[in-house]
């Protein structure tokens, strides 16, 4: 079945370490997105990409980096510059010129 | 700037009672509107969406929502709550339409629905 796979589901890292969250989709969707979810704050856009080798910053890009070398993959790196990285991270994708997302199941990152 | 407001961060209903989750948006042009549901530690699942046409939209699991331009609202309803409806619900909008479409969605802060037996 087609879908979006985020891995791992739970991730623990020490403060000061970079960590990369994986997002892979086999839906042949053009656009991919990363959101951060914190209790009571809804979802906030980190980065998005509409085509391969191109991506744009969202509302809270500081301390994060992404790449889009393949249509299927959009990994997110949480760097040591992100001051409060503990959160639930959601990846989503959509068909270009369409509206509405398909979401992955999320990665819960805890930094200690 | 466009924004989405969900009135009430927590809503509690009895099983079998009407569910009403409120969503208002701010925009000078009619947006496209969405409702998503999220169960604990999972991603979001699309319940329904309004783009154009009929303003009353029916979705999955018996939910529906009505787009009211004059009230800038898109409230979610279900006639009879079931225990399995307990989850967090998000309203979202996009104004990125047509040639400038980036597909970005802006989400409300979410409403947690509790269903009491």
Assess whether pLDDT exceeds 70 at residue B46.
Answer: yes
| Contact state of A40 with B51 under an 8 Å Cβ cutoff | no
Q: Give the nearest chain A residue to B31 (CA atoms).
A: A99
Beta strand residue intervals within chain B, DSSP E: 3-7, 10-14, 19-26, 32-38, 44-50, 56-58, 64-68, 73-78, 87-94, 106-107, 111-116
Contact (CB, 8 A) for A90 and A106: yes
Tell me the pLDDT band of B96, cut-offs 50, 70 and 90: low
pLDDT of residue B97 exceeding 80 = no
pLDDT at residue A1, rounded to an integer: 66
- Which tokens is A6 given? 């985020």
Q: Which residues pair with A27 in a beta bridge?
A: none
Q: What is the average per-residue pLDDT within B30-44?
A: 90
pLDDT digits (tens, 9 = 90+) for A80-96: 988 899 999 999 999 87
Task: Report the share of chain B in percent with pLDDT over 70.
Answer: 90
Instruction: Say which residues have a Cβ less than 8 Å from residue A14's Cβ, sequence separation at least 6.
Output: A111, A112
Taking phi over 0 as left and psi of -120 to 50 as alpha, with beta for the rest, B103 belongs to left
Handedness of CA B20, B25, B30, B36 (dihedral sign): negative
Give the DSSP H/E element, type plus range, for residue A87.
Answer: strand A87-94
Q: Is the Cβ of B44 closer than 8 Å to some Cβ of chain A?
A: yes
| pLDDT surpasses 60 at B90 | yes
In angstroms, rounded to a whole number, what is the distance separating the alpha carbons of residues A85 and B88? 22
Nearest-CA distance B44 → chain A (Å): 6
Chain B: residue nearest A41 by CA?
A: B109
Q: What per-residue confidence (pLDDT) applies to B2?
A: 67
Asked whether B25 and B74 are in contact (CB, 8 A), the reply is: yes
Residue A10 is predicted with a pLDDT of 95
Residue B17, token pair as written in the block: 């009672």
A98 at interface of B, judged by CB pairs closer than 8 A:
yes
């Amino acid at each position: 079945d087609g879908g979006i796979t985020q891995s791992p589901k739970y991730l623990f890292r020490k403060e000061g370490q970079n960590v990369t969250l994986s997002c892979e989709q086999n839906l042949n969707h053009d656009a991919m997105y990363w959101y951060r979810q914190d209790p009571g704050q809804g979802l906030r856009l980190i980065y998005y990409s509409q085509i391969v080798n191109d991506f744009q910053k969202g509302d809270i890009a500081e301390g994060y980096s992404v790449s889009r070398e393949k249509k299927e993959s959009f990994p997110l790196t949480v760097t040591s510059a992100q001051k409060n990285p503990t959160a639930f991270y959601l990846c989503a994708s959509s068909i270009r010129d369409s509206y509405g997302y398909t979401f992955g199941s999320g990665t819960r990152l805890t930094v200690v | 700037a466009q924004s989405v407001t969900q009135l009430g961060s927590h809503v509690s209903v009895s099983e079998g009672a009407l569910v009403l989750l409120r969503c208002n948006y701010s925009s000078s042009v009619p947006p496209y509107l969405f409702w998503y549901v999220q169960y604990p530690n999972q991603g979001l699942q699309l319940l329904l969406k309004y783009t154009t046409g009929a303003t009353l939209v029916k979705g999955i699991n018996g939910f529906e929502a009505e787009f009211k331009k004059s009230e800038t609202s898109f409230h979610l309803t279900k006639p009879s709550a079931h225990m399995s409806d307990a989850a967090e619900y998000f309203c979202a909008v996009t104004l990125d339409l047509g040639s400038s479409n980036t597909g970005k969605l802006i989400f409300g802060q979410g409403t947690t629905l509790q269903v009491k037996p």
